[in-house]
A and B are shown apart, each in its own frame.
Chain A
Amino acid sequence: MNELVWIFISALLINNFVLAYFLGLCPFLGVSQRLETAFRLGLATIFVMLITALCAWFLNTYILVHAPYLRLISFIVVIASTVQFIEMVIKKMSPGLFRALGIFLPLITTNCAILGLAIFATNKGYGFIEGMVYALGAGLGFTLALVLMAGIREETELAEVPRLIKGTAMNLIIAGILSMAFMGFAGLFSAA
């Protein structure tokens, strides 16, 4: 039990996918203008991550034992079809959300955070429950970073900054400062 808590906290804060591993930066910088949209994309990502972890566990246990060189391709195919499925469901259920997320929904497929999750979970040799907890922590961590960033960006929109630095350059520097703040969580390990 204790170990599960550590996996969760570590994926959520200490090894935050966005701020420590640089995974999922495209949506992090692209869909963080509005708090609302950022939050919804975060939820979609958590959902995809949970399903990814499930698929990765299944593939690793039953199929890839016999053909390890197919790991990458089979991960991708499974993730891509999952995302396509979610895209269809969202399109049907909530056209407004579909419009709001725009181009980034198909791009969840190439979201490195999703593939990274499958690969990291495999490299660390997680079983089923560990994998799911890891996915939940990573997804929540991604959402947390995205929402924090969106909140800051909404504030900076009205601030007066030099014209040159406006846009991606400033967002990256903000992300750097956020990342520095998250480094503080590394102390959690030694405290235990």
Chain B
Amino acid sequence: MNAARELQSVPAEEQQPSKSRFAFLEGWLYLLPSIVLFGVFVFYPMFRTIYLSFFLADQIGPFEFAGLENYHYILSSDSFQSSIKATVLFVLFTVPATIILALFLALLTSEKIMGIGIFRTFFSSTMGMSVAASSVIWMFMYNPSIGVFSKVAEWLGLPVIQWLQNPDYALLAVSLSTIWMSTGFAYLIILGGLQNIDPHLYENARVAGVSYFYQLRRITLPMLSPTLFFIVTVSFINAFQTFGQIDILTKGGPVESTNVIVYSIYKDAFINNDVGSASAQAVILFFCVLALTVLQFKLGERKVHYQ
């Protein structure tokens, strides 16, 4: 009996390690491309940023250890506080509006009617435009002396507003153009989610004879919740990382009213040559976005209904 077990177990023990070792290596091999990509383009820059945030550094590299001085300097500066304010306001202006607008458009066009493809193409078309190109178009529209908005305002007898030169309106103006730019993507994702909902559910609803809003509340939104959750998370992160339209439309001005954190990081790193301070801001931004995403997963995901 004993001998028999040994006889059985010996080959098994000899085989397993080599097999599992091979499987282990094979697993790593499959992971290699993404590990290399992430390592080179995500993890290395991330750790380097954290490292640099503790130094006085310029574009060539660090030159003096500074401890927490960069953080201290940032947190006590008025300019960073106005950056945080601008960023939070920007997120609040853009994310809910984008998603509600996209949801509305997607609900309108989720029916299968003749010619619906044209509308779907229209509504998702802003996704195909680069931020730079759209920003330039908006810049011309906002121009107070030759832009469309001021011409219309003049024609209607309303006061002409200097959208991008007035600190009271600049952030609003940039947000408006951002909503326009990001609606296309959100629309496309939500529309895809709507198409994925089991049609039987709607058939049942029709048989039961419930109202459209009841159906929307009890079937569409719950079934759409994973998609909505995804788009909310992505939109939040995108809004926190907005750069292109700020750079082109306002350059962070007037009076720093649109100087969102990412733009402030860019300015410090590439214009003011203060990489240490830029890195510290990047680290702060990273932890803010991380905390927010964790919070979203903790609170939001409970309400998400996975099929």
Decide whether A and B assemble into one complex: no
Q: Could you list which residues of chain B lie within 8 angstroms of chain A, going by C-beta atoms?
A: none
